[in-house]
Chains A and B, each alone.
Chain A
Amino acid sequence: MTAPPSESAPSSHAPSPHAKPRPRMSPDSKPFWDGCRRHELLLPTCEDCGRAHLPPGPVCPFCFSDRLAWKKASGRGRISTFVVVHKEWFPAFKPDLPYNVVQVELEEGPRLTANLVGHGGRKPVIGEAVRIVFDTIDDTLTMPRFEPA
């Protein structure tokens, strides 16, 4: 079965219970996802104060400037917190149970939520160094994940 293209997904509020939810892309966040498809981690960065932020917004949350540019980030960071999900909330994630979700503080400052892969199934560790990897789901969606650095 071919998943619907992501461009047509945003109007759907409730994802199909049989598929993993796809990201909701807004005019503010679409360049982030476009970057992932090119295997680039892009962060909205303020051209006035120089700070990057997440989640992508329409203005700089630090200095309220409109002058934002998408800049390539290093993809390196450290796990700041994590959980391991045991409850079956989504039927589509049942085969993955239990699975982790991590928050990673990127070198540039903002934190990105994703999961840790390539770690042999052990628990993530707060403070451990990680680097981004890109997981191609289909032609229109590539998901960022992290692996031990």
Chain B
Amino acid sequence: MKIDAAIVGIGASPFGRFLPESQLGLMAKAFKAALADAGLERSDIDGLSTHMGSPLGVDYDRVAEAFGLDIRYVNQSWLHGRFVTNALQHAALAVSAGLADVVACVTGISFTRERDLLGGPGDMEGMREEGGTHGEAPTYGLTAPAGGAALSMQRYMHLYGGTSEKLAAVPMQIRQHALLNPDAFMKEPLTLEKHQASRMVVDPLRLYDCCLMTDGAVVLLVTTTERARDLKQKPVRIAGMQGIRSGRDEFIFAPPGLGINQQPATGIRAKPVDQEIYARSGIDRGAVKGLYTYDAFAPLPLFVLERFGFCGAGEALDFVQGGTIGPGGSLPLNTHGGLLSEAHVAGWNHLREMVRQLRGQAGPRQIADADVLQWATCWGDSVLLAA
């Protein structure tokens, strides 16, 4: 089966902290905006792919019930951001296989109300029979995803050299993008001094190396390329995709070979199979005009650059110095401001931005000739979107 799918509608709620709406209320705003954007009716939606379900967010059946939908294909993932394009890929697979005509990818989160689930005494994942999936060790006081990113960055800096000052290049450039985005929560420039003066959260990560905790919702509508041609917006084609990697080679927040948890400590290896998306799609890495990634913590974009071959093993901290990933750089990264500076909508705000860029609707942030953009994560999944 070939993937035959396009994103035809995007919608978002306002993003912010301690918003008055319920998670479902935020979703309703985004859902209506996405339908209006696509020129579709509620009755056209027959598939749901929800992300950030139990125990943090809203489950698919409550979404369908609350919005009066009539659904014949459902996919749902549990709370973690890692499943963002997993949910999008399920939507693409479903419309390609004819299991649904139009799938709504729905995520709405109130992190400001629900954040206690993500660390500390409420860390129910870390206390399960098999524990958490970010290296959590609650009995020793290590909890929350930030701990896993810190375990990786500490070893990375030891093996390849690196400092907090050099790492600051990631959040500083993502902030520069955010300053061009009126939706971004962070409105002030991030200087090196400000970054270095910010409090240590879990050494080696400082406050500005960690993402925002905000509220917001995004809805994306996916259908076949044939149907997309008849709709209101210029379609954004899903031009390639590859899934999440898992196995003893993998730790969620480390590239293969870094040696975190039970990973082999061979040194970072960019494996050919982890870059299969380029050959499978017929799109070269060099054609990618902008890169989008899950920037929950500042080190994660570094691991993506190495895993996908934008630079060699251990070279990413040098690669990102000098404006490479900022506005006007050779590889703009998270041009909306990402999780670090726009809002934490679990990566769906990134996909919304990719669609706006490929439609030419990104205003002052517009990447010139944006015809191919890539989503890629340090846990190995990827999606290529094309105009």
Contacts and interface: CB of A to CB of B under 8 A. Distances in A.
Interface in B123-152: 123-124, 126-131, 135, 137-144, 146-147, 150-152
A interface, over-half SS: loop
Nearest to A53: B262
A135 B252 CA distance: 30
Contact of A86 (B138, B140, B202, B260): B202
Interface stretch (B103-111, B114-122, B215-223, B270-278): B114-122
Interface in A90-115: 90-91, 93, 96, 98-99, 101, 103, 105, 110-111, 113-115
Given A85-B147, A101-B140, A101-B142, A16 B121 contact: yes
A21 B262 CA distance: 23
A81 B203 CA distance: 11
A49 interface: no
A83 interface: yes
Interface in A18-56: 20-24, 26, 53-55
B147 A83 contact: yes
Contact of B202 (A20, A85, A91): A85
Interface string B350-375: 00000000000000000000000000
B140 A113 contact: yes
A101 B127 contact: no
Nearest to B254: A81
Contacts of A105: 259, 265
Contacts of B202: 83-87
Contacts of A14: 121-122, 124, 127
Contacts of B137: 101, 113-114
B80 interface: no
B135 A113 contact: yes
Given A55-B131, A98-B203, A126-B158, A81 B143 contact: no
A13 B55 CA distance: 13
Interface string B188-216: 00000000000111111000000000000
B150 A83 contact: yes
A99 B130 contact: no
Which range contains the number of A residues in contact with the other chain? 35 or more
A143 interface: yes
A85 B141 contact: yes
B121 A24 contact: no
Contacts of A101: 137, 140-142, 147
B248 interface: yes
Nearest to A94: B141
B155 interface: yes
B141 A17 contact: no
Nearest to B207: A87
A99 B203 contact: no
B259 A80 contact: yes
Interface centre among B141, B144, B154, B204 (most CB of A within 10 A): B141
Given A14-B127, A99-B141, A86 B262 contact: no
Give the 6 A-B residue pairs with the shortest CB-CB distance, closest first.
A84-B203, A81-B155, A17-B121, A89-B120, A21-B138, A93-B141
Given A87-B146, A113-B142, 4 more contacts: A87-B202, A90-B141, A101-B142, A126-B154
25 contacts: A15-B127, A17-B120, A20-B141, A21-B127, A24-B128, A55-B130, A55-B131, A80-B265, A81-B154, A81-B260, A82-B151, A83-B154, A85-B141, A86-B199, A89-B123, A90-B138, A90-B141, A93-B141, A98-B203, A101-B141, A103-B135, A103-B261, A114-B140, A115-B141, A126-B155
